[in-house]
């Protein structure tokens, strides 16, 4: 492989180490309490390498959140347009499986109290995406109904996480889908 490919692999590896270290530290403390020193020591990289890639820990967090929101949008592309079908969209099952398989990152981003800035941003992304798909989605009544769907889905996920991801992801996706479709009929 050429030097550029190796460098890209090296950069991806470094960023992956930083993401994992950040996620681990976020399990223990708030972002504002994390130092670059402890982050880099846990990741096994130098502080200079960290500062080569990021201005500060907040920049790293922004990038981590952006990548998670991008993944969420990708999954929404497979869920929202299928709101009229009976069977559970594969993308909704994939969303629940992702959350089950990436429990640490989800807990870190959604926050201990489920009132994190990331959660607020995720809800906004989902709400905006839904409004674009449903007819008359911007009427006041429909904004309330869509907000109910979004908050209900995130609340369901929170309960599921607190229950230790039981029942399995496909069953949770089916439960959420039934609730979404019930409210969608009112739109």
Whose tokens are 């890209």? That residue is: 8
Q: What is the mean pLDDT of residues 69-79?
A: 84
116 or 166: whose pLDDT is higher? 166
Nearest one of 30, 70, 37, 32 to 51, comparing CA atoms: 37
pTM of the model as a whole = 0.77
Q: Is the pLDDT of residue 144 over 80?
A: yes
> Strand, coil or helix: what is 115?
coil
Q: Indicate if the pLDDT at residue 141 is higher than 80.
A: yes
Q: Does residue 97 come out as left (phi exceeding 0), alpha (psi in the -120 to 50 range) or beta?
A: alpha
Share of the chain above pLDDT 90, in %: 31
Residue 39 in this model has a pLDDT that exceeds 50: yes
Q: What is the DSSP letter of 56?
A: S
Alpha-helix residue ranges (DSSP H) falling in the chain:
3-28, 36-43, 47-53, 57-79, 90-101, 103-110, 117-133, 140-162, 169-184
pLDDT, tens only, 94-112 = 888 888 888 888 888 876 6
């Amino acid at each position: 492989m050429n030097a550029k490919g190796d460098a890209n692999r090296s950069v991806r590896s470094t960023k992956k180490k930083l993401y994992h270290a950040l996620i681990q530290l976020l399990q223990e403390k708030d972002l504002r309490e994390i130092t670059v020193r402890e982050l880099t020591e846990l990741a096994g990289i130098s502080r200079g390498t960290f500062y080569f890639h990021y201005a500060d820990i907040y920049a790293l967090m922004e990038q981590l959140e952006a990548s998670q929101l991008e993944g969420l949008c990708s999954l929404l592309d497979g869920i929202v347009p299928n709101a009229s079908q009976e069977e559970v969209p594969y993308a909704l099952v994939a969303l629940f499986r992702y959350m089950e398989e990436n429990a640490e990152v989800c807990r870190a981003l959604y926050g201990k109290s489920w009132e994190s800035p990331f959660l607020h941003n995720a809800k906004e992304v989902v709400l905006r995406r839904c409004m674009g798909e449903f007819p008359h989605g911007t009427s006041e009544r429909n904004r309330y109904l869509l907000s109910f769907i979004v908050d209900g889905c995130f609340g369901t996920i929170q309960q599921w996480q607190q229950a230790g991801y039981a029942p399995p992801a496909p069953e949770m996706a089916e439960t959420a889908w039934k609730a979404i479709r019930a409210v969608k009929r009112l739109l």
